[in-house]
Chains A and B, each alone.
Chain A
Amino acid sequence: MGHRFTSQIFWKRCAVYVTALMALILIGLTFDSVDKITAGSERVPDYSVINKKIFYSLDEERGAYGPTIGGDAPLFEKKLSSEEAEQIVNLGKLTIQAKNCMNCHTLLGNGAYYAPDLTKAWLDEGWISESIRETLMIQFLMNPEGNSRTFGSNRKMPNLGITENEAKGIVAYLKWMSSIDTNGFPTRFKSIYQEGEPK
C-alpha cells in the first residue's frame, strides 16, 4: 500500500480519472440547471411576469424567502405580450451592461459593493408606495443627482445619460429580476407594502 501512494503513475491516473469524472458530473448538472433557469421556467419566470404583481415573503414550509406572483399589475399601465415584454427587459439588460452598473451595484449578489444590491430593488420599501414607485424609479435613473437617495452617506449615483426608454427598460428588468426564485436571497428582506399582499 505504502508503495502505491508514493507511485507517480498511481497519482497520474488519479488526476485523470478524478478530473474526467468531475467534469462529466458538471456537464450533466449543467444540462439540468440550464433547463431549470431558462426564462419561462418555474424558477425564472417568463418576461411577461412584468404584467403581474410580484411579492416577496417568507415561505414557512420551505424556511426561506421567495417571490410569489399575484394578479394583474401591468408595468407603466400597459399590458405587454410575451415578445414585447422580452424586448423591453432586453433593453434594460443591455443598458445595465453598457452603463457598467455591476461595478458599483450587485445583481443577484454579484458585482461591486459600493451601492445597494439590485436583486429585489423593485420591491424595496424605499419606493414608498406602489402607486408612485414607477415614476420615482424613472426620475431617479434619469436624474440621479437631483433625486439622490444617499441615506446620509453622500454616495450619489452619477448621471449616466440614461434615456427615458432605457430607464423604462431598466425598471422592467428590475421587476422581472425580482420574480426569480433565488433560494431565499436576500433573506429577511423588508418589502414595500403592496395591496393584496399574501399573509
Chain B
Amino acid sequence: MIIYKKAIDHLNKGQKIAIKYFAVALVLFLAQMIFGMLAGLQFILPDFLYQVLDFNVNRMIHINAMIIWMLYGFIGSVYWLVEEESGTSLVGDKLANFGFWVLTSAVTVVVLVYLFVQTGTGSEASLWLINEGREYIEAPRWADIGIVIVLLIFFYNVYATFSKGKWSGISGVLVLDLIALAGVYLAGMFYSTNISLDQFWWWWVIHLWVEATWEVLVGCIMAWGLIKTINAKREIVTTWLYIEVALMFGSGILGLGHHYFWIGTPEYWLSIGGFFSALEPIPLVAMLVHAVYDAGAKSLKTTNSPAFAWLIAHVFGNFFGAGVWGFFQTLPQINLYTHGTQWSASHGHLAFFGAYATINIAMFYMAIQVWRGEEIFGKQLIDNGKKWKWSLGLLNVGMVGMTIALLIAGYEQAFIERAVEGSTWSGFFTAQNNPTFISAMNWRMVFGSVMFIGSILLIWDLLTIRSCPGKIELKTECT
C-alpha cells in the first residue's frame, strides 16, 4: 500500500481517482471479451455450456460489461482532466473515492448474481434484485439507484471543481452534457406492462446515450486530447466542439425516431426517424475532418504516439461504425428487413468499438504517460513501441473482421429469413442453418480471437510501457 501511494504521489487528486476507474475499466474490458467469446462460440456449438452458462447470461454480461467499462472510462477521463482544465484541485476527493467503491462493489455483486442466480420468478422482486431483463440496462433496480447516486456524486464533484476554478468551452459543454446524460438514465428506471411504452422510454436511455450524449462527451475528451497530444490550438478545438454539438444534437435527438419505426409508435416516426438519422453521420464527418486536419497541421508531431494513434482510430471508427454502418440500415424501407438481424450486431460492434473503446484506450495511454512521468511516448520507447503497435493493429483488424463477418450474416438473414421466409420461426432457423451464416459465425470467432490477443497485448503494454531500461516500476525517471 505504501509503495502504491508513493508511486502515485506525483499525480493530482483527480488523477489518483481516475487511475482506479481506468484499472477497473480494463478488467471489465477483458470480461466483455471473454463473455463475448463464450456467446460467439455458442452460435457454433449450441451445446457448449448449455444449462450452465446459457447464451442469455453470456450475452448479458458481454453487453453490460461493455456499457459499464465505457462509463468507467468516461468517468475516469473526466476525473483525469478536471484539475488541469479547471486550474484548481478536486473539491471532494474523499467523496469521489467513496463513489468509486460504491460503484465497484455494486458492479461486483451484480455480476455475481448474473452468474450464479441468473434468472428469477415472474415477480417485481426479481427485477429489483436479480435482473431487469431489458437489454443493455439489465442491472437490477437497486443497482440503478446506486448508479444514479454515484453519477450525482461525480457530477457534483466535476461541477463544484469547475465552479471553484475556471470554466472553459470544453468544461461548459462537458457539464451540461453530464446533466443530460444522467437525466435520460432516469427514463429507463420504471416498469410497464405495455411493451410499446417500455421500449419507447428504454430507447430514450439507449439512443440518447450512445447516439447523442456519449458522442458529445467523447467530443469533449477528443478536444482535450488533441490539445494534450498534438498541442492543438484551444480556440480552434473549442469552435469545432460547438459545431459538433450543434450537428450532433441537431441530428441525434430526433434521430431517436429510427428506433420508433416498429414498436407500435405512430407512422410519422418513419419520416422523422429516417430523415434525421440519415443526417447523423454529418457530425462524425466533422469530427474526422477536424482531427485529421489538425494532425496534418501539426505534421503528426505528437508527445504521445500510442494515445494519438488511438485518437485517430477513434475518428475513423466513429465515422465508419456509427456513421456509415448506421446509415446502411437506417432508412425504414431497408430497416424493415434488417431490424433485429446480425446487421444490427455488425453496426453495434463497430460503432461501440470505434466511437468509445478507442477513445478510452487513448485516455489510458495519456494517463500512463503522466503516471510514468515521461515527457514523450514515441520512438524512444524501449521496444520501439512494438507492443502498442501490435495491439492497435490486432484490435482494429479483429474488429473490422468481425464487423464484416456479422454484416455478411446480416445480409443473408435479411434475404432468407425476412424477404423469402417471412420472419417465421422456421424462417429464422433456415437462415441460421445456411452455410453462409455458419461460415460468417466461424469467421467472427476467428477475428474475435484476434481481438482477444490484441487486448491481452494492450494490457501487457499498459503495464510495462516506458522509455528507460531497467526494473519495471510504476514511475520511472530516466537519467
Bitwise, A69-90 to B at CB < 8 A (1) or not (0) is: 0000000000000000010011
Q: Which residues of chain B are near A23, meaning CB under 8 Å?
A: 249, 253
In angstroms, Cα B136 to Cα A49, docked, is 31
Bitwise, A158-179 to B at CB < 8 A (1) or not (0) is: 1111010010010000000100
In angstroms, Cα B122 to Cα A93, docked, is 8
Contact of B133 (CB < 8 Å), options: A100, A115, A149: A100
Interface pair B336/A11, CB less than 8 Å apart: no
Most buried by B among A36, A159, A169: A36
Interface pair A44/B264, CB less than 8 Å apart: yes
Q: A102-B133, A102-B134, A182-B262 are in contact. Are A34 and B122 (CB under 8 A)?
A: no
With an 8 Å Cβ cutoff, the count of chain A residues facing the other chain is 87
Q: Which residues of chain A are near B121, meaning CB under 8 Å?
A: 95, 98, 161, 163, 166
B127 located at the interface, meaning its Cβ lies under 8 Å from any Cβ of chain A in the complex = yes
A32 located at the interface, meaning its Cβ lies under 8 Å from any Cβ of chain B in the complex = yes
A183 located at the interface, meaning its Cβ lies under 8 Å from any Cβ of chain B in the complex = yes
Restricting to B152-199, which residues have a CB under 8 Å from any CB of A?
Answer: 169, 173, 191, 193-199
Distance to closest chain A CB from B423 (angstroms): 3
Q: Which residues of chain A are near B285, meaning CB under 8 Å?
A: none
Q: Which residues of chain B are near A115, meaning CB under 8 Å?
A: 428
Q: Which of these binds chain A: B98-106, B237-245, B288-296, B301-309?
A: B237-245
Bitwise, B127-138 to A at CB < 8 A (1) or not (0) is: 100111111001
Interface pair A153/B263, CB less than 8 Å apart: no
Interface pair A19/B246, CB less than 8 Å apart: yes
Bitwise, A38-64 to B at CB < 8 A (1) or not (0) is: 110001100100000000000000000
In angstroms, Cα B131 to Cα A197, docked, is 40
In angstroms, Cα B130 to Cα A85, docked, is 26
Interface pair B127/A98, CB less than 8 Å apart: yes
B430 located at the interface, meaning its Cβ lies under 8 Å from any Cβ of chain A in the complex = yes
In angstroms, Cα B2 to Cα A180, docked, is 62
In angstroms, Cα B335 to Cα A108, docked, is 13
Most buried by A among B173, B250, B265: B265
In angstroms, Cα B134 to Cα A34, docked, is 19
Q: Which residues of chain A are near B43, meaning CB under 8 Å?
A: 114
Interface pair A108/B264, CB less than 8 Å apart: yes
Interface pair B423/A189, CB less than 8 Å apart: yes
Contact of A15 (CB < 8 Å), options: B50, B131, B242: B242
Interface pair B195/A93, CB less than 8 Å apart: yes
Interface pair A108/B199, CB less than 8 Å apart: yes
Contact of B123 (CB < 8 Å), options: A30, A98, A149, A160: A98
21 A-B contacts (beta carbon < 8 Å): A8-B235, A8-B239, A8-B242, A15-B173, A29-B272, A33-B265, A43-B266, A91-B122, A95-B122, A99-B122, A103-B138, A104-B55, A107-B199, A109-B339, A110-B199, A111-B135, A111-B340, A114-B56, A153-B46, A155-B432, A188-B419
